[in-house]
Amino acid sequence: MTSILVVEDDDGIRTGLQRGLRERGFAVATAARGLTGLELVLRESPEVVLLDLGLPDVDGLTLISMIRAASRVPIIVITAQDDDPTMVRALDGGADDYVVKPFGTEQVAARIRAVLRRGGRETSPPAPLRVGSLVVEERSRTATLGGETLDLSRKEFDLLLLLASRAGEVVTKRELLAEVWQQAYGGSDRTVDVHLSWLRRKLGESAAEPRYLLSVRGVGVRLVDPEPVPDPEPDSGGP
Tell me the sheet residues that pair with 94: none
In the predicted model, is pLDDT for residue 131 greater than 50? yes
Sorting pLDDT into bands at 50, 70 and 90, what band is 30?
very high
pTM of the entire structure?
0.56
Asked if 18 and 26 count as a contact pair (C-beta separation under 8 A), the reply is no
In the predicted model, is pLDDT for residue 134 greater than 80? yes
pLDDT at 194: 93
Domains of the chain: 3-118 (3.40.50.2300), 129-223 (1.10.10.10)
pLDDT at 102: 80
Mean local confidence (pLDDT), 75-79: 92
Looking at every residue in the chain, the average pLDDT score rounds to 86
- In angstroms, rounded to a whole number, what is the distance separating the alpha carbons of residues 47 and 27? 10
Mean local confidence (pLDDT), 14-42: 91
- In angstroms, rounded to a whole number, what is the distance separating the alpha carbons of residues 57 and 34? 6
